[in-house]
Amino acid sequence: MKQKVQALADQIFNEVVGFRQHLHANPELSFQEFETAKFVKDKLSAWGIPFTEMANTGVVGLIKGKGDSDQVIALRGDMDALPINEANDDKPYKSKKPGVMHACGHDVHTSSLLGTAYILNQLKDEFAGSVKLIFQPAEEILPGGASIMIKEGVLQNPTPQAVVGQHVMPLIDAGKVGFRSGIYMASTDELYVTVTGKGGHGAQPHQNIDPVLITSHIIVALQQIVSRNADPRLPSVLSFGKVIANGATNVIPNEVKLEGTFRTLNEKWRDEAHRLMKKMAEGIAESMGGNCHFDIHRGYPFLINEEKLTANARAFAEDYLGKENVVDLDIWMAAEDFAYYSQVTDACFYRLGTGNALKDTCHSVHTPNFDIDEDALKTSTGLMAYIALKQLGN
């Protein structure tokens, strides 16, 4: 079976490269993936793979194998791009849309899942069970396309026993993949804080209630939540990336806007940290004569890779790629809405190496220079198909 998958991955490789370059040149933001969804549906239709639509721009294909086995595995690829202006001017597939770019590799995920679909469809008379193909919108913004698709029934009719996803990783060389069992990625919450005081002339601070000073105290003090309240064995991240104080050199504003993120790997501590942050910020503002509105937008939960499924997938990867091409992953404090699948069913989310220093493809995701070594597309299509086939047979 491995040789057949590898041969089909070689056969579809050039087409998958073309898929990826087309999608990269025509990126669409979250919940706006209309042309991307049409592209996916056209390919599935051409191959005779039935599909349904959900979450407005989501597409769900289904490949049924031989017999009447009720075994089902789901494979997920996300489709949305980011609001980033691409800097890869020398690439013919550079984004045609100013300010929109596939800077997180979702073009890779979508084109790879199409390649995997082709392989599995060619082999459908050689495996029992079914493969559900989840082409998902809106991973990049809350509430996350995964949560919407789950509510609309993507994990029903038929119900998969496992969901598998992959994500590009420029820190890993192309041709390699990475796995981690257990808790892998963090929960994420967005923090929106408004500190209100009394503005006035910068030369008369005694007549004002300075929200800039209050906000400064809040930013510094809130770091105690991580350093002095969190269990030091439990990773937690609190970062503020946006502060707006619309005053001037001699003008103290009436209010300051503050935005940040909080991430951790434990739901009980997550809730407690929310309570402590809100209480501390409001207390500091009140003690200094101002007011603080602390709004927490609860985001994705933490992502957990089910132990047995992940051990199986890793073993299949070692068989398919060679043990030397499978590496261990550390905890990753970024967040992913794939976590929603992992909270309701067995899930495995692994990393696809796309880096190559000689091809200058080691730039981080979410940057204007992100790109991939397209040789990774041969790995991505074949390996996911092989994992699905072996897991169904397992």
What does the pLDDT look like over 244-260, one tens digit per residue?
999 999 999 999 999 99
Decide: helix, strand or coil at residue 162.
strand
Residue with tokens 């132990």: 307
| Per-residue confidence band for 394, with pLDDT thresholds at 50, 70 and 90 | confident
Is 89 a residue of the active site?
no
- For 141-154, b where at least 16 C-beta lie within 10 A, e where not — what string? beebbbbbbbebeb
Average pLDDT of the segment spanning 195-221: 97
Q: Per the CATH hierarchy, to which homologous superfamily does domain 2-183+301-393 belong?
A: Zn peptidases (3.40.630.10)
Under CATH, to which class is 189-298 assigned? alpha beta
**According to CATH, where is 3.30.70.360 located in the chain?**
189-298
Q: Which of 28, 33, 139, 371 is catalytic?
A: 139
Q: How many CA atoms lie within 13 A of 138 on its CB side?
A: 20
**According to CATH, where is 3.40.630.10 located in the chain?**
2-183+301-393
Average pLDDT of the segment spanning 348-352: 98
Average pLDDT of the segment spanning 131-148: 97
Q: Which ranges of the chain would DSSP assign to H, the alpha helix?
A: 2-25, 34-46, 106-122, 145-151, 211-224, 267-287, 307-321, 339-344, 376-393
Q: Which of 80, 173, 255, 282 is catalytic?
A: 80
Query: What's the whole-number average pLDDT of the chain?
Result: 97
Residue 189's DSSP bridge partners are 262, 298
- Mind listing the pLDDT tens digit for each residue in 24-57? 999 999 999 999 999 999 999 999 999 999 999 9
Specify the pLDDT at position 43.
98
How far apart, in whole angstroms, are the C-alpha atoms of residue 135 and residue 119?
16
0.85 exceeded by pTM:
yes
- Strand arrangement, sheet containing 255-264: 236-244, 255-264, 189-196, 291-298
Is 267 a residue of the active site?
no
Judge whether residue 102 has pLDDT over 80: yes
